[in-house]
Structure 1
Amino acid sequence: MSNPTDKRRILVIDDSEAIHTDFRRILNPEQRRGRDDLDLLEEALFGPTPSRATAAAEPEFEVDSAFQGQEGLAKVTEALAAGRPYSLVFLDYRMPPGWNGAETLRRLREVAPALRVVLCSAYSDYSWAELLQEFGEHQTLRELRKPFNGQEVRQLALTLTTPSNNSSAAG
């Protein structure tokens, strides 16, 4: 198992507890359930399943939670000060009663301009063109529609936290 400091750090900023649970299950599938006797017997008879073999080779994620934009900004600022910046933020568009996703993103860009952010929502409060016009560079900003596909979330996390694709989250 890798050292906890080697894990790719991800922050989920969303007002829904269920969304945080979903992200944890998707990004850390082995935490979802323990291996029981049937799993061990299956592995002994047939060898490791492709999903387990793949999971063993994939990086681990450290997933933190913030339930409002202000809390998310504080966590990003603290992480930078501690020298353990986040590699990626999944950010909800709508988080009443606090800042919405656009306002939170504006504040995040002030402290961590190169931080990769995936905006998540079932609603179209802003057009993608408007967001790109305001926040620029497509490399650091992506969009994910809810309800999201777990494989898509995991692939985004893997791709956007790859060190060669994520030169400096601290900016």
Structure 2
Amino acid sequence: MSNCPSKKRILVIDDSEAIHTDFRRILNPEQRRSRGDIDMLEEALFGPMQSRGACSSEPDFEVDSAFQGQEGVAKIRASMQNNQPYALVFLDYRMPPGWNGAETLRRLREVAPSLRVVLCSAYSDYSWAELVREFSDLQLLKELRKPFNGQEVRQLALKLTRDDDDNSSHAPA
């Protein structure tokens, strides 16, 4: 059995394809790192890094995409039914023409009340104070302003999914 941290499942709910691409680049640094000749030679000689038992000190993230709130909530429901819940959701405030971020969050809380969510937007149709009043648990809800800093996104994902290890279930108490 491996001591490597398992992949943390993250769902990005945003209507912009470019945002999904950004999150994948930020949360999967191995995908963006170009492999040099030495890396390829090492793999040819010793096999892929994962099969040699080595692992990174940071968890890998499996990033999934939904382009509308309805699709995101359906994916969260399916992930729980398949016993592969998401550890974290990055959720856009504005996603025309469907549900906005607040409505998506209301529906998401019905399905997964303890799932951590980071609300992301350059605009807000709701003030943060209004959202906090309605969705009062600040341990489960964070805000991230666009344009975001890649390092900030990665650190937020690491912190929020690390905390998830302490509370390994998303089922209601």
TM-score, normalised to structure 2, is 0.84
Contact in 2 for aligned 1:12/1:63 (Cα 8 Å)? yes
Contact in 2 for aligned 1:89/1:116 (Cα 8 Å)? yes
How many residues align? The count is 156
One-letter amino acid of the counterpart of residue 143, structure 2: E
Q: Distance in 2 between matches of 1:71 and 1:40?
A: 39
Contact in 2 for aligned 1:87/1:166 (Cα 8 Å)? no
Matched, 1:158 2:158: yes
Contact in 2 for aligned 1:122/1:147 (Cα 8 Å)? yes
One-letter amino acid of the counterpart of residue 131, structure 1: L
One-letter amino acid of the counterpart of residue 117, structure 1: V
**Which consecutive residues of structure 1, in runs of 5 or more, have no partner in the other structure?**
42-54
Q: Distance in 1 between matches of 2:10 and 2:167?
A: 13
One-letter amino acid of the counterpart of residue 127, structure 2: S
Contact in 2 for aligned 1:114/1:170 (Cα 8 Å)? yes
Q: Which digits, 9 at most, give the CA deviation of each residue in 1:76-105, with x for residues without a partner?
A: 000000011000000000000000000000
**Which consecutive residues of structure 2, in runs of 5 or more, have no partner in the other structure?**
42-54
Structure number having the greater helix percentage: 1
Matches within 5 A, 1:13-92: 13-37=13-37, 56-92=56-92
One-letter amino acid of the counterpart of residue 108, structure 1: L
1:170 Cα deviation after fit: 3.2
Q: Distance in 1 between matches of 2:148 and 2:167?
A: 23
Contact in 2 for aligned 1:25/1:32 (Cα 8 Å)? yes
One-letter amino acid of the counterpart of residue 146, structure 2: K
SS at match of 1:139: coil
SS at match of 1:11: strand
TM-score, normalised to structure 1, is 0.85
Matched, 1:11 2:14: no
